[in-house]
Amino acid sequence: MLSIASLTADVLSPLHFGVSLSDSLLIIALSAGTVFSILVALLSFVAFARRRTMSYLLIAVAFSTFLGKTGLGLTYLIGRMNSEMHHSFEHSLDVVMMALVLAAVYYARSQESQKLGSD
């Protein structure tokens, strides 16, 4: 029987603080993240293509930052980036996503009736 006392600090610590799962489990998680990031980005660009408004474009680009974050994870996993650089870029993408969503809300409230490419 497994008890809490028998669990190591590696299992109880969150991944964000530098403790990693086995490489195979991490590869599976990043692969799933990549597939779902691509799916969400494609669906958001399809929605933009149908609506053709600036707010939909901004949301599509914001959702594309998820793909960038999974790319950063893969880059870190293969050893092309150290942990400090990885976290700096990852949190920078969080700021970019937040700014894009706020801009989308602003445009949706102020100019939503104007379609892109129309007179």
Say if 81 falls within a structural domain: yes
Task: Give the CA angle between residues 95, 21, 67 to the nearest 5°.
Answer: 35
pLDDT, tens digit (0-9, with 9 covering 90-100), for 60-90? 999 999 999 998 988 888 888 888 898 899 9
Q: Check pLDDT > 70 for residue 117.
A: no
Instruction: For residue 109, give every residue at least 6 positions away whose Cβ sits within 8 Å of its Cβ, in sequence order, or none.
Output: none
Q: How confident is the model at residue 26 (pLDDT cuts 50, 70, 90)?
A: confident
The structural domain count of the chain equals 1
Q: Residue 106 belongs to what domain range?
A: 22-111
pLDDT, tens digit (0-9, with 9 covering 90-100), for 32-43? 999 999 999 999
Say if 106 falls within a structural domain: yes
Say if 7 falls within a structural domain: no
From residue 113, give the alpha-carbon distance in Å to each of 7, 23, 35, 50, 99.
57, 49, 34, 14, 22
